[in-house]
Amino acid sequence: MGVNDVDKKWVRGSPLKGALLALLLGIDEPTHGYRLATLLAERLGPSLRFELDGVYKMLKAFEKAGLVASELRESEVGSWRRQSVYGPTDLTEQAVGLWMAEPVSDDAARPELLVKIACSRPCDIPVLLDALNALEMRRMDRLGECERAVVPMSSWSGLATNAACGWTEEHLQADLRWIMSTRDWMRDYADQNDVFRR
């Protein structure tokens, strides 16, 4: 398969798409959609909610696009029932690489980045560090905008403007603390495990 075999359109939209494919790369053998949904819920925690039906719809769409393969197997519950199990294909690794490299949107960027981090592998650390650096720059730019927007509080509109900017500034500073901590953890892990030398 060539470099351009994966259509980039699938990486846009829900970050769950890439997360689900990334999980498939980490499983030892093909598994049921329900098990994949359970793994996804465990990895994401409360950061992003999803419906089980959505996981099955994504798996079917991925199969149609050649990004996953399925086969029927006897049910673990009883031999009278067959169920589909899903596993990666030759295109899955390329698709996950495209998803990891896709810039996160500035709207709700942290939850989207959290999804990528939650479903990543050590080999994804360089791309994730780039994403954290880009997010940091955008947050710093917005923090500068907030500082410039501060106005005298002699009127109600001035007070309201400062309240809105104060809220935004607090959240931006929290994002920046999270970015720095996460980046430090990733670098420490990479150094201790020689990730950059592989």
Three-class secondary structure of residue 27 per DSSP: coil
> Does the pLDDT of residue 3 top 50, yes or no?
no
User: Could you tell me the two tokens for 78?
Assistant: 């009883």
What is the radius of gyration, based on Cα positions, of the chain?
21
- pLDDT grade for 88, boundaries at 50, 70 and 90: very high
Please give the residue that has the higher pLDDT: either 180 or 15: 180
The 10s digit of each residue's pLDDT in 55-69 is 999 999 999 999 999
> Does the pLDDT of residue 143 top 60, yes or no?
yes
Average pLDDT over every residue of 74-85: 70
CA distance 172 to 143: 7
CATH code for residues 8-103: 1.10.10.10
Residue 172 to residues 19, 56, 129, 132, 179, Cα–Cα distance (Å): 25, 36, 18, 14, 10
Q: Among residues 133, 122, 130, which one has the least CA distance to residue 195?
A: 122
State the Cα angle at 69 between 66 and 75, rounded to 5°.
155
Domain borders along the chain are: 8-103, 122-197
User: Could you tell me the two tokens for 114?
Assistant: 């959290």
Average pLDDT over every residue of 47-62: 84
134 class by beta-carbon count within 10 Å (0-12 exposed, 13-18 middle, 19+ buried):
middle
Position 169, amino acid? E
Residue 30 to residues 77, 84, 128, Cα–Cα distance (Å): 17, 9, 27
- pLDDT grade for 92, boundaries at 50, 70 and 90: very high
- pLDDT grade for 153, boundaries at 50, 70 and 90: confident
